[in-house]
Each structure stands twice: as C-alpha cells, then as structure tokens.
Amino acid sequence: MNVDPKARLREEMRRRLAQRQLRQDRDRIVPVPRPGHGDGGGDGGEVSGDAGLPLSFSQQRLWFLDRVERGRADYNSGFCLDLRGGLDAGALRRAFAALVHRHEVLRTSFREVDGRGVQVVHGTDRAAADVDFEESAAPPGGEEALADAVQRCYAQPFDLEQGRLLRVRLFRAAGTPADEVPAGDAPADGPRHVLLVVMHHIVTDGWSTGVLRSELDRLYRAAVADPGAGPARLPGAAGLDVLRVQYADYAVWQRGRADGPGYERSLAYWRERLAGAGPLEFPTDRPR
C-alpha cells in the first residue's frame, strides 16, 4: 500500500497534539471516588461498583468491534524481547504483578450493562492472579519453532468479559536452566530467554506500552534487590510515584466533556461542514 508522506506527517502531528492536550488537561481530571483509589485500588471485589464505569470513546469502539466478531486477535498489542544473560523469573513475575497492582486498567474487565459497555475495575487481591504468566522451555526445532510458538501465543484472542488482558510468556532457550539465575552470576552469552508480552488494545496503546516497559525495568530491578517485596511495595521501592488518576478517571472525564455544550457545538459544526460528502475510501493492502 502506498503511504502518503503528508498524511503520515499530519497523523504524527495530531498524535503529538493529542498528547500535549492530555498533559494540559491532566490537572482537570478528578479521580472518581471508589475504595482504595490512589493507593492501587481496594483490596478485593470490584472497586468500580456493580454498575461499572463508562468506557472512553476509543474503548467503546474496541468493545463494540469485539462484540460484533468475537474470538479474533486483530487488536492484540505487545512486544517481544530477546534476553541474554541471567534472569530471575520469580522477580520478573512479581514485577508484572506490581504493574497490575499499580495500573487499574490492567485488572479491568469489560461487560455489558443495560445495553452499554462498561469497565469493571477489580481489587488488588487479583493483581497476581490477573497476570497470565507462564514460563516454559522453548519448543525443540530451533529458532523457527520458537518463532512459531511466539506467534501462536501472540495470536490467541482475549475474552474481554473475563479480563486477564495481560499475557506474559517466558521461553527458556535450549541449555538454559529452569532455576533462577541471578544476572550477576551468568555470562552474557550464557542463559537466554525470550519474553513475550501481549495485551488487548482496549487496555493499552503504543505510548502506554513504552511507559509499561520503562516501569517494568525499574520494578524488576527492585524485585531482584528486595526478594521479600510484594506488589504493593515494589512501586515505591522502584521510585515510582503514586498514580493520582487512573485511566477510568480519564474515561469519566471525557464522557463529561462530551455531555457539555462545547461538544455539541463542535459536532454541529462538523456535521454542517461534511454535509453531502461521499464516503472516504482508502486503498488497503488486504481485504477488509
């Protein structure tokens, strides 16, 4: 598919402007009252309440598409890392549990209530359980077999109603022991692991994935340094600030803006401007 450089530039500018606007509006977002908000969520139950919280507009699109055609992995997102040298798998597992404890959206499920989609934030008692973390030996057959295994795991669909929308697979390459190998005790060309992290796009995006990777690195180092630290304590040990607002707060704030007169004026303007315009068709690289 041919890509128009001007279109790419416009899209990049829109992305940067959106991020700048979010930073400017961040102080206007008021946390939604719910148990344990501000310290990683309540200990148990559904901290968003039985009725759930509204979806952001982008989440609503993804939820609707999932309802129309379930069992697809089109909106899976993530990254894969080739790790050389020592790795403490137990510390890595605790680092992911701390991420889920810290970010409500990673322990959120999505359901339908009265004909509309809502997000249900679960308590921190599910932090470790909500990490779908599996460690296994890489399949026999070399790099091609390993690549196939990674692809199969990546392509597994998520169930938005069940939650657990963060999937972690750690593959040990041939010759790598299953026991934990401290990083300082192994040569760089020794043990090798392949780490696959997959999330549904409804709980992440490209920018957020960068934040997650950065925090994961800091949380893992803190977990290695303090083997006794649990998910609630690791963010502080890693020097991460307490999150004042969560993504659900942004969704509520966005919906509130949409109910205001400014949104209606903007919508009326664009309806007038686009009245009579034909459908926009883009060439694609495969059938849609």
Q: Could you report the per-residue pLDDT of 159-192, keeping only the tens digit for each?
A: 999 999 999 999 998 777 766 555 545 445 678 9
**Nearest by Cα to 89 from 130, 134, 154:** 134
pLDDT of 222: 98
Which residues span the domain enclosing 145? 29-261
Which residues lie across from 87 on neighbouring strands?
181
The verdict on residue 21 lying in a domain is no
Domain count, the chain: 1
The verdict on residue 269 lying in a domain is no
Q: Return the ∠ at Cα 166 (arms to 216 and 230), rounded to 5°.
A: 50
Residue showing tokens 């997650």: 212
The verdict on residue 226 lying in a domain is yes
**Nearest by Cα to 165 from 114, 200, 119:** 200
pLDDT-based confidence at 1, cuts 50/70/90?
A: very low
The verdict on residue 272 lying in a domain is no
Enter the pTM of the model: 0.78
- Specify whether the CB–CB gap between 169 and 134 falls below 8 A: yes
The phi, psi pair for 132, rounded to 5°, reads -85, 80
For residues 117-135, give the mean pLDDT: 86
The verdict on residue 14 lying in a domain is no
User: Helix/strand/coil (H, E, C) string of 106-167?
Assistant: HHEEEEEECCEEEEEEECHHHCCCCEEEEEEECCCCHHHHHHHHHHHHHCCCCCCCCCCCEE
**Gyration radius (Cα) of the chain, Å:** 21
pLDDT of 247: 94
C-alpha span between 5 and 40 (Å, rounded): 42
The verdict on residue 217 lying in a domain is yes
Q: How big, in percent rounded to 5, are the helix, strand and coil portions of the chain?
A: 45, 15, 40
The verdict on residue 285 lying in a domain is no
pLDDT of 15: 62
For residues 7-20, give the mean pLDDT: 61
The verdict on residue 239 lying in a domain is yes
C-alpha span between 222 and 230 (Å, rounded): 10
How far, in Å, are 54, 64, 73, 87, 161 from residue 112 at the CA level?
11, 10, 20, 41, 9
CATH number assigned to the domain comprising residue 180: 3.30.559.10
Sign of the four-CA dihedral 31, 33, 34, 39:
positive
Residue-wise pLDDT for 228-252, tens only, equals 999 999 999 999 999 999 999 999 9
